[in-house]
Amino acid sequence: MTAATFAAVFAALFVAHSVGDHWVQTHAQACAKGAPGMAGRLVCLWHVVTLTLTKVAALAAVVVVIGLSLHPLAVAAGLAVDAASHYWADRRRPLAALAEAIGKGGFYRMGAPRPGRDDNPCLGTGAYALDQSFHHLFLFIAALIITA
């Protein structure tokens, strides 16, 4: 595979991630995917399924329009790694624990909504920044797997 193939795959995954995480994901999913118990796990799973389907559509568009040739098993492996990592992070507690463990707990909590409110008057939070950064890392890894 060429660097151009990697760039096209990464760009498709990156755009699809943004669309899937912000436009396709419902408000209810965003609020409940980190909830404890089976209900929260199922909501998170459904979010990851729709997010992954968004990434499949973006990769299919790149294959059709640009004419890339991607190995189906490599695509499946890359998307599986990405989906698993996304689920792990979006359950919220694991990512918060990782942030605490590496000394980023204060940043993770920065800008968090006040108790009893689900709104946040600022443009972002430390949790959101670390969440998206974690996802971007695994988009990069998925693109490497898909194009290796």
**Residue-level pLDDT at 120:** 60
3-state SS track over the chain: CCHHHHHHHHHHHHHHHHHHHHHHCCHHHHHHCCCCHHHHHHHHHHHHHHHHHHHHHHHHHHHHHHCCCCCHHHHHHHHHHHHHHHHHHHCCHHHHHHHHHCCCHHHHHCCCCCCCCCCCCCCCCHHHHHHHHHHHHHHHHHHHHHHC
**Residue-level pLDDT at 121:** 57
Q: Is 60 exceeded by the pLDDT of residue 143?
A: yes
**Residue-level pLDDT at 118:** 62
Residue with tokens 């709104």: 119
Q: What is the mean pLDDT of the chain?
A: 93
**Residue-level pLDDT at 97:** 96
**Residue-level pLDDT at 123:** 59
Q: Is 70 exceeded by the pLDDT of residue 119?
A: no
- pTM score, whole prediction: 0.90
Higher confidence at residue 143 or residue 122?
Answer: 143
Residue with tokens 């995917």: 33
Per-residue pLDDT band for 111 (boundaries 50, 70, 90) equals confident
Q: For 59-104, what is each residue's pLDDT tens digit?
A: 999 999 999 999 999 999 999 999 999 999 999 999 999 999 999 9
